[in-house]
Chains A and B, each alone.
Chain A
Amino acid sequence: MADVGETSVQVDSLALELEKFELRIDNWSVRRGDCAAFVGRNGSGKTTVLESILGLRKDAQLRGSLLGYRFTEWKQRAALRQRLGVLLQRAGLPEGLYVKDIIALHRNLYHRSSAAILDALGVGGLANQAYERISRGEQQRVDLFMSLAHEPELLILDEPFTGLDSRFAHVTAGILKGLSNTTILMACHSELELSLADNMVWMDAGKIRDSGHPQALRTKMLGDYRLHVSFRTGACALDFITTLRQQFKQTYVRAEGETEVIVAGDKSIVSAAQSLVGEGYITALQYGPTSLADLLNCCARGESALDSLLDQERGTVKPAAGVQYA
């Protein structure tokens, strides 16, 4: 058995030519028991990184190791994959199987199957139903069961909470938190998923744009405070943004639709922004701490954070200047 040490995932280099950009990651690692969450807009390369690590991308040039074993060994040695749990996007189990068949398959493949996880995900209750006929969320629970029930040392999950209702999303979060010795790599789009992460990796056009603890990145990229203002008209919102950007060049500003603006920064900036707001054309105003949802939004929208507002004034304001970070 290879010496895992403190590092579970070690990517010395990963390069893959994609249609729109080149995916490139160098010297990136995840410590044993940590959870690394890839965030970013759709098509930024999150899923491709996970699939490359799993050996599913034939053209990927990859050097490094998982749990101390070189990536190539994982492809060649099927028995090694007993230590791995995987949830892929748009990858279905064989058609025509009943859920009980899938449970039996899991038991036979991994020789252990946590009854607690089976119960928590409510998969036992679906046993006599055909996998094809249950709902998308129920299928996701069965898929999660397949990836989690053997409590693997390494979990690779692509958007694990997609399709889950709030109850099962929290149940899944609880299970993942409980797997303290498991290293988790996941692509995520929800605040709950991100809340599990020790390390957030912001992917942008195939590159790691930033990484770190989510809360640290939240403070770094957004600041701790936010102001959410709803204006009566888009013109009022635009006026507010224009004034704000003249006074505070490093402030994060995001438009929500045509009449709502979110400003984030430290307490002084947000207070100053609040003072710019005239009462007459305001319909609502919220003040509070920034959240991981804001951080996800920021990473997903990037430079397009003001698009909906700037669309009105296209040609007079450059959209690329819409968002800035401290």
Chain B
Amino acid sequence: MLNALRILLVNELKLILREKVALFWIFLFPFFFMAIMLFSSGRNGMFGDQRIEIVDQDRTPTSLRYIADVRQAFSRHSIVNATVTILDHPPSDRAAPGVVRVIIPRGFANAFAVHSGTLPITVAYDYSSGFGTVVAARSFTVLTARFLVTASRTPAPTTVDYVNTAKYRPIGYLEYMLTGILVMSMMTSGMNNTCIAVVAQRERNTFKLMSCLPLSPGMYLGAMLFARVLVLLIASVVLLVGGRYVYQVPMPLTLSQYGSAAALIIFGGATLLSLGTAMASRISRVQTAMFVCNIVYLSLLFASDLTIPMTTYPPAIQRFMLALPTAQFVHALRAVLVQGSSLVSQAPTIGTLSIWCIASLLFTVLTFRWHVQ
């Protein structure tokens, strides 16, 4: 009995160890996931590593004390961790997205000395940046109030002016999530589902059979893809309408916005389908396809500003992320659906999506195999 159990146990272990995909999920995926989460959220907290730029126009011991307080407040192990830099000569008037710019006005210290009240600290940031940026920026109300009490030893009114540096209307949490989830669902149905369906048909030798029928395999594949475009469109409409009326997502949609969004969804959907087909072009087993799909899906999910704001990532990585088709797609969707941009203004994004789409199709044409020999 024990001998049989031992043999069964050894066989099961052999099966697990021979399955490379399972080994990846068991042993490597946790490291992969950890790396992505650390990239997006930083090592010190849920709000990620924020960036604060201080422009000290006062340049007095008081303003330096204020800066020291700021540094301490955002030091490691605090609720919001931030890198604080002093800008002597700001490169531009407007802070980059994801950056909180604090301006200490000239006369800030003098106002203390003569007890004539305080000059307001200006905190400028892009209101549509991520939650970490918002929390860091809004912390200045409390931080400044505490500094004033400590410095003047008497309660003083808190004077912090907040300035929105966003070019367009800020994107709220619900709008951010709805558009992110829309692209996520299109990734699932467009990219992953297409890839797995194509590989499944290859594994079952369906393409082989179809190539013996009076239709071209290309026509069959075309029908497969076109059906998925239709499903994508319907699913997108259902999600947007559901978001608008079930979850009360504030989207002031006009007919032209609907039209622009539909055009973007077709472009984005076609790109995701092309990516899915390209991913499937050489894979012969469904299990392998699922593995590849999961890796690509998770990578795009975390790196495309779908649910985790891109501004929480280091700037060098952000540049790479901006080139991803899903990031381009979701940014354009937010611009059109939430901020009321025109489709024409999204021409660069449509261009990028087209490049991805054509490159994927080209890769597919060059490498696709209908069946395993």
Contacts and interface: CB of A to CB of B under 8 A. Distances in A.
Interface of A: 54-59, 75, 78-82, 84, 86, 88, 90-95, 109-110, 156
Contact of A90 (B205, B216, B373): B205
Given A79-B214, A94-B204, A109-B214, 17 more contacts: A55-B211, A56-B211, A56-B371, A75-B211, A78-B213, A78-B214, A78-B215, A84-B214, A86-B209, A86-B212, A88-B205, A88-B208, A88-B212, A91-B206, A91-B208, A94-B201, A109-B215
A55 B373 CA distance: 11
A79 B204 CA distance: 24
A4 B371 CA distance: 31
Contacts of B373: 57-59
28 contacts: A54-B211, A55-B211, A56-B211, A56-B371, A58-B373, A78-B213, A78-B214, A78-B215, A78-B216, A78-B219, A80-B214, A81-B213, A84-B214, A86-B209, A88-B205, A88-B209, A91-B205, A91-B206, A92-B205, A92-B206, A92-B209, A93-B206, A93-B209, A94-B201, A94-B204, A95-B200, A95-B204, A109-B215
Nearest to A74: B212
Interface residues of B, number: 16
Contacts of A95: 200, 204
Contacts of B215: 78, 109
Contacts of B219: 78
Contacts of B211: 54-56, 75
Contacts of A79: 214
Contacts of A78: 213-216, 219
A283 B211 CA distance: 54
Contacts of B201: 94
A82 B214 contact: yes
Contacts, number: 53
Contacts of B206: 91-94
Contacts of B208: 56, 88, 91
Nearest to B205: A91
Nearest to A111: B214
Contacts of B204: 91-92, 94-95
A81 B214 CA distance: 5
The 6 A-B residue pairs with the shortest CB-CB distance, nearest first, are A91-B205, A86-B212, A92-B204, A91-B209, A81-B214, A82-B214
Interface of B: 200-201, 204-206, 208-209, 211-216, 219, 371, 373
Contacts of A56: 208, 211-212, 371
Nearest to B204: A92
A200 to B, nearest CB: 24
Nearest to B218: A78
A57 B212 CA distance: 13
B138 to A, nearest CB: 52
B281 to A, nearest CB: 15
Nearest to A82: B214
Contacts of A110: 214
B205 A84 contact: no
B209 A109 contact: no
Contacts of A59: 373
Contact of B212 (A58, A81, A90): A81
A91 B201 CA distance: 9
A63 to B, nearest CB: 20
A22 to B, nearest CB: 15
Contacts of A80: 214
A2 B372 CA distance: 32
A79 B216 CA distance: 9
Nearest to A84: B212
A139 to B, nearest CB: 12
